Amino acid sequence: MISPEKIWSSDQLPTLPAVAVKLLDLSKDPDTDIKDVIDTIKADPAITAKILKASNSSFFGLRSECKGIERAVPLLGTMVVTSLALSFSLSEAAITQGPLKSRYDSYWKQSIIQSAAAELLATRLGNELKYDSFLIGLLQDIGHLAMLRSIPNDLLPVLEQAEKQQRDMSEVETEVLGINHTEVGVKMMERWQMSEQFQIAIEHHHDTFEQLKALQSDPNFNLIIIISASAAIGDYFCSPNSGLALQRLQQLMAEFYNMPIDDLHGFLEEVKYRFEEAAQIFQVNMDDIESPYEIMAKANEQLVQLTMKAQVDSTQAFARQAAIEEQKVKLESENKQLQSKAIHDPLTKTYNRSYFNEYFEKELHRCARSAQPIGIIFSDIDRFKSLNDTYGHQFGDLVLQRVAKVASESTRRSDIFCRYGGEEFVIMVNNPSENGIHELAERLRKLIENEVIEFEGKRVPVTASLGAVVGIPPRDMTGFGERLIAEADEAMYNSKENGRNQVHVRSIISQEDNELQKLVKRSRFSRWLVTKKIFDIPTISKALLKCPQQETQTKIGELAVNEKLLTSNQVTEILEAQQKNGQRFGEIAIQRQLLTREQVAYLLAIQIEPPIVLGKTLISLEMLQSAETAELVKLYLSEFKASAAPMEERRSEFANS
């Protein structure tokens, strides 16, 4: 136990600057002249600059740029600028160095998350509470900051105990210290002469579910429940005990917001988007905050553990085990769903940016190994902010969903379509040519332009600007992925700058690599079948989609030995040179005149598309008979005898299949 006086006598307690105090006084008077507010802010140039910068951020989304505080204050409102001034003061109080830095950082991040969550929750209950809720959400754990600054050595073991035992922090604080951060926060509000409404909301934000239900007749109940739910959201994103936070949040949202568990996932995504915008105002890096779905999986694991612990304490052994198993099966099932949701955008149901980044990295490595091209198409809906402002966010969501549906349905299964962020989409194109990626991008542009999207029975024109790039990753890929993304992004902005609703394509493939790729395509078994008019392009394309994906490709050196184009010693010689200069295997072989360019193209063709794999697929689809397939493979190989020796063993395998 500690004496509360140890806290109140500390000279480290957070204090408010004169500007914040004056603004708080002005905000209490409904007859306050807006000029008095402006003059008060201008007395502190630092806060003036920060408020002006914040007013022009995406968080507020004003229609035009504010170039002076005289314009910003009327647009934002007295309560908003008061909240910002107080927020910037608290931000400075939460910045520190030393052993407790991570605790201060965590406190401030959670405060921003809670303020953003409170604002969104208030919007659902009535906009009149919106900016009050933002400020109270920010202040609700001010007692935690006060205790960190005044009694850090006493508080730290308590925090560690609460985390280790997966218990409510306020409960452990009261048990060990005799006082908790909620009580300290209310006292701080009294010292700062904040309104009674603020004090009541903070006093109850950690109340139990039953205690909150008993307060439903309180005139401040809406604000109380907003702050209680925002506190649970803050704990969900920041606390190690995310399982307890999830349990409380599900209960609160279902009871007081009539929100099913499935809808909660999407709402938490909205909260994350909003607090990331707020974090930009306060220059806080939120990159270490995981996605709601990733946290949900961890929270469910904790709930499994808590369920098991609670059941172990039960005297009913048989019933205990049955309940554990039932809960475990249920949560494991939900985790599988969450794993799927973790890689999908909740609004458009397409893959999300996280999945794109992971898959893009894998594709870069695969294409680097096989010297294959990789393509990126960026698509940005034109004047999307204007659509939102004119027709509302629900219509904006409809536009995103329809564009995503049109685009995802028109891309190949081998391509990856994702929502990159906001109104921007990205497609990772498998094995593209410059002409091919241009045709795909142009087809998507036309489909989006022709899609009929209506508002109140009237069609609203929707178009998109697209930018694409195609490149071949080098063996040393350092910076290549970033360059590919940047080139596609710049190509898209060229489309924007040149009038929108158009396509720009770039190629970063060298002339030499471009010629080699043409040779590779001409050498592939599928292309040969088309040139011989055995199949047309649509038919062979369908067969290629049915070909089993190779987990690992045969190395080009191994293929060269199998085809009797190189000896094992020559392969070793090339690999040793490769270790020194980082060039591709084929480049070195050509330079040393061990292989011709045509031979390298042939080896790459059968590496990417083994004739035996495509042949067996054609047989399984009953498009060819076994004997006919073996004869075609034989003919294909014989026509490439200048590049490689006939593969007797492969023909034999077909004959026996």
Q: What is the DSSP track for 467-516?
A: EEEEE---SS-TTHHHHHHHHHHHHHHHHHHTTSS-EEEEE---HHHHHH
In a domain, 34, yes or no: no
Examine the domain organization and report whether 266 and 335 are in the same domain: no
Cα separation, 481 vs 470, in Å, equals 11
Structure confidence at residue 551 (pLDDT) = 63
Examine the domain organization and report whether 563 and 592 are in the same domain: yes
Structure confidence at residue 498 (pLDDT) = 94
Last residue of a domain, which of 509, 533, 553? 509
Residues 196-206: pLDDT tens digits?
888 898 899 88
Cα separation, 142 vs 182, in Å, equals 8
Cα separation, 30 vs 53, in Å, equals 26
Examine the domain organization and report whether 581 and 538 are in the same domain: yes
Give the Å distances, CA to CA, from 79 to 129, 150, 192, 197.
11, 30, 16, 15
Residue type, 518: K
Q: Give how many domains the chain has, as a whole number.
A: 4
Last residue of a domain, which of 509, 531, 553? 509
Examine the domain organization and report whether 382 and 333 are in the same domain: no
In a domain, 48, yes or no: no
Examine the domain organization and report whether 221 and 327 are in the same domain: no
Task: Identify the CATH number of the domain in which residue 267 sits.
Answer: 1.10.3210.10
Examine the domain organization and report whether 390 and 335 are in the same domain: no
Examine the domain organization and report whether 530 and 483 are in the same domain: no
Pairing state of beta strands 503-507 and 458-459?
Answer: unpaired
Examine the domain organization and report whether 368 and 324 are in the same domain: no
In a domain, 429, yes or no: yes
In the block, tokens 């005044």 appear at 150
Mean pLDDT of all residues in the chain? 84
In a domain, 560, yes or no: yes
Spell out the residues 6+ positions from residue 595 whose beta carbon is closer than 8 angstroms to its own.
560, 565, 566, 586, 589, 603
In a domain, 80, yes or no: no
Structure confidence at residue 281 (pLDDT) = 79
* Residues 173, 177, 180, 181, Cα dihedral to 10°: -90
Low-confidence ranges of the chain (pLDDT < 50): 643-657
Residues 101-143: pLDDT tens digits?
888 888 888 888 998 888 888 888 765 677 678 888 888 888 8
In a domain, 22, yes or no: no
Examine the domain organization and report whether 498 and 539 are in the same domain: no
Q: Do residues 511 and 402 make contact, with C-beta atoms less than 8 angstroms apart?
A: no
Task: Identify the CATH number of the domain in which residue 423 sits.
Answer: 3.30.70.270
Q: Do residues 481 and 474 make contact, with C-beta atoms less than 8 angstroms apart?
A: no
Last residue of a domain, which of 475, 509, 543? 509
Give the Å distances, CA to CA, from 13 to 9, 101, 180.
9, 16, 15
Structure confidence at residue 95 (pLDDT) = 62
In a domain, 450, yes or no: yes
- Cα 651 to its chain centre, rounded Å, is 49
**Which residues constitute the domain of residue 368?**
353-509
Structure confidence at residue 320 (pLDDT) = 57
In a domain, 384, yes or no: yes
149 burial level (CB within 10 Å; 0-12, 13-18, 19+): buried
**Secondary structure class of 125 (helix, strand, coil):** helix
Examine the domain organization and report whether 366 and 441 are in the same domain: yes
Backbone angles phi, psi at 98, to 5 degrees: 100, -170
Q: Do residues 15 and 59 make contact, with C-beta atoms less than 8 angstroms apart?
A: no
Residues 537-569: pLDDT tens digits?
888 888 887 888 766 778 888 988 888 889 999
Examine the domain organization and report whether 263 and 115 are in the same domain: yes
- Cα 85 to its chain centre, rounded Å, is 31
pTM exceeds 0.75: no
Structure confidence at residue 494 (pLDDT) = 95
Q: Do residues 524 and 609 make contact, with C-beta atoms less than 8 angstroms apart?
A: yes
Neighbours of 254 (CB within 10 A): 14
Examine the domain organization and report whether 299 and 285 are in the same domain: no
